[in-house]
Structure 1
Amino acid sequence: MSDFLDILTHGRRLKAAVKELSVSELEEVQKKLEKVISDRREEEAELQKLEAEKQRKIAELKKAMADAGIGVDELVEGTPVTVKPKRKRAPKPAKYAIIDKNGERITWTGQGRMPNALKDALERGDKIEKYLIK
């Protein structure tokens, strides 16, 4: 919770925070707070009204479906819900190759972390084009 909300919701902290305000300033704050509260009540009432309307429409649709003898499964039967499988992309081909100290060939696509053997070769002054796979 923010410091502001901590102060606002705790009686003693609120009293300490507003002790330097005059009564007229406190009354002005009260009016603003009452306005915020009334606005919030109106918003909540509107949301409740919209939700009630939605539930009424759902009930109407359920009744109409029951009267027609239609089930929910019949509505979605023609349009099966399928999830497309994610296709894995093909791995990128190696772009660089180097033989390490153990005689093992190490390849690198040019993406991600550079292999240590290639990094060491570049630090020694070699050009990366030397290790390019043709």
Structure 2
Amino acid sequence: MKDFLNILTHNRRLKSAVKKASVSDLEKAYDQLGLLIEEKKIEEEALLQEEQEKEAMKASILLQMQEAGLDLSDLTDEAAAKPRKRKARKRAIKYRLVDKAGTEHTWAGVGRAPKVFAELKSQGKLEKYRV
């Protein structure tokens, strides 16, 4: 589209592009281009009219709200405006171990086991630390 507009809007490029075209072909193109221009004008006028109608409607609604003593925040339901966040439930601890250094290790038994519990599991001693 950019190339097309470059050709149409620059006189030298346009002359070069239509050098081999016949007069009847150019007249047909001229007629088609005129029709397209008229259609585009009508579309733009319709869009402009629609925007003006929207702005008028907004102004009317805001005036009615002011007369009624309402604000935009009065129209929004705060519970609906804020999506509820589900709180993640903490799982109960199933295994607890205090190592020689006095560090407490816990595991809910779900997901990948911490190294300490993985070692105990491989040795078969995991159940000893069940809470």
Give the match for residue 37 of structure 1.
37
CA deviation map 1:10-65 (0-9, x unaligned): 21011111011122211111100011100000000000111111111101101100
Q: Which has the larger radius of gyration?
A: 2
Give the match for residue 75 of structure 2.
75
Decide which structure has greater helix share: 2
TM-score (norm 1): 0.57
CA deviation map 1:63-116 (0-9, x unaligned): 10011010111111444522566xxxxxxx78xxxxxxxxxxxxxxxxxxxxxx
State the 4+ residue runs in structure 1 displaced beyond 3 angstroms. Answer: 77-80
Stretches of structure 2 that go unaligned for 5 or more consecutive residues are 86-110, 113-131
Q: Which segment is superposed worse, 69-78 or 59-68? A: 69-78
Q: 1:7 to 1:83 in 2, by over 3 A?
A: farther
Instruction: Give 3-state SS (helix, strand or coil) of 1:21's partner.
Output: coil
| Distance in 1 (alpha carbons) for counterparts of 2:59 and 2:24 | 52
Identity of aligned residues (%): 38
Q: 1:79 to 1:61 in 2, by over 3 A?
A: farther
The question of 1:11 aligning with 2:6 is answered no
Paired residues for 1:99-110 under 5 Å: none
AA partner of residue 46 (structure 1) = A
Paired residues for 1:41-80 under 5 Å: 41-80=41-80
Number of residue pairs matched by the alignment: 89
AA partner of residue 53 (structure 2) = E
Instruction: Give 3-state SS (helix, strand or coil) of 1:27's partner.
Output: helix
Give the match for residue 26 of structure 2.
26
Superposed displacement of residue 3, structure 1: 3.1
CA RMSD of aligned residues (A): 2.6
TM-score (norm 2): 0.58
Stretches of structure 1 that go unaligned for 5 or more consecutive residues are 86-92, 95-134
